[in-house]
Amino acid sequence: MNIHSLDAIALSEKVKSKQITAIEVVKQFIDKIEQQNPTLNCFTNILKDRAFEQADNIDNQITKGEHAGSLLGVPFAVKNLFDVEGIVTLAGSKINQKNSPAIKNATAIQKLKAAGAILVGTLNMDEYAYGFVTENSHYGATPNPLDLSRISGGSSGGSAAAVTANLVPFSLGSDTNGSIRVPASLCGVLGLKPTYGRLSRAGTVLFSNSLDHIGCFTRSVRDMAVIFDVLQGEDKHDPVCTSLPPQLCFDKLDDDISGFKIAVAGNYFQESAEKEVLEVVETVSKQLNVKEIINIPEAHRARAAAYIITASEGSNFHLKNLRSRPQDFDPATRDRFLAGAFIPNNWYIQAQRFRRWYRDQVKKVFQNVDVIIAPTTPCVATTLGQEKMIINGEEILIRPNLGRFTQPLSFIGLPVLSFPVLRPNKLPLGVQLIAAPYQELKILKVAAFLEKKLNHFS
């Protein structure tokens, strides 16, 4: 049985119905990982023995009629900034190699395993999640499975590439300024960054505390909904994830968007992008019969303020090591952290004040619209090692500018799904589906509608 093309729900149904054992599922996925990882460099740690042990336990439960869990028998992997019991949490760095192994799993991993999912490994990333390319000087680059000469994006590049290559049905990543949505766009998979504080970050290495989210990569919308449901819930170990009532989506998921008001983001979100990016947004707009264009005010300033907060908080967290062992950082990461260390305190304070004003302005926009459409990235996946690109006749740096459309949205914690538009004989591009805080169900419904219209998954 070829199981690699199945989504998580279909695979779990086959395990529960005894059409295939969990052991055989793990064997097939581990075999594929071991065959392809030398080329794709997605995995930094393959947890073969413990995956087989969990699979054996699941098969025993099924034999006894005790099986439960919406993701029973489904392999998954996580960005290597999630704590995995018994192994060192690298966060893409050399410095962390000497740390003690994690004493327990991150909250998100605990929840997924409780739902029956099987952890098979940890995934490559930009060092300390500061980057959009996953070209890591310590652990190597993760090339795009759709074109090995190009990047997968980042910082969750290994997570996106692993799903694209069918090495796992789903994976976890993190998103500060676009680190889930950028690689989702470049690799052609779904990438969800939920509302800030909706999912627990406990047991992860934080980059910028006031901006960090965790989220998921999948190939089907229904998988995204069920995984989002599993991951929700209050967690006293993450101060920003308390007293949040779960908003369960899977049972309510359909493609009925007849009552939704949808608009396209204009101005800033239609500038400094390749022509084909805007064409993809137009394609999605036509499928949704959207004609209205709205303006998200001061998006360019939101991006600038997001940079100040990110660089300030990130550099402060790593300040001790920047002083004592700068040579052990990835040079690209080190230089940006050092620049962040010199940002004046009053700039940071002003950026946070602007953030409150900007949140209020965007809140007004959502009084008249349910979902906003915007491009995810300004271009398709660029070539490995490429430093600059030309857009609209202007030469710009790739690393900071891949997130120009994602930063103004994560800046105020909005839920955003990057939906892939798969184009014959061309690289994919993502379109962001954006909603007001805690309205993940709306964007999942729009994604389900598009999935059906564009025949993405069956």
Catalytic residues: 79, 155, 179
Say if residue 438 is exposed, middle or buried (CB neighbours under 10 Å; 0-12, 13-18, 19+).
Answer: middle
Residues forming beta bridges with residue 390, ordered by sequence position? 395
233, 111 Cβ separation under 8 angstroms: yes
Pair of tokens at residue 141: 């680059």
d(CA 190, CA 358): 27
Strand (E) or helix (H) holding 41: none
d(CA 397, CA 136): 17
- State the residue for tokens 């001790």: 320
Residues 6+ apart with CB under 8 A from 369: 261, 262, 263, 292, 294
d(CA 387, CA 383): 9
Residue 262 φ then ψ, to 5°: -120, 140
100, 90 Cβ separation under 8 angstroms: no
What's the half-sphere exposure (Cβ side, CA atoms, 13 Å) at 342? 5
Count CB-CB contacts under 10 A for residue 250.
18
d(CA 6, CA 14): 10
Residue 112 φ then ψ, to 5°: -65, -40
CA angle 27, 32, 33 (to 5 degrees): 100
CA angle 31, 36, 38 (to 5 degrees): 115
What's the half-sphere exposure (Cβ side, CA atoms, 13 Å) at 226? 22
Say if residue 402 is exposed, middle or buried (CB neighbours under 10 Å; 0-12, 13-18, 19+).
Answer: buried
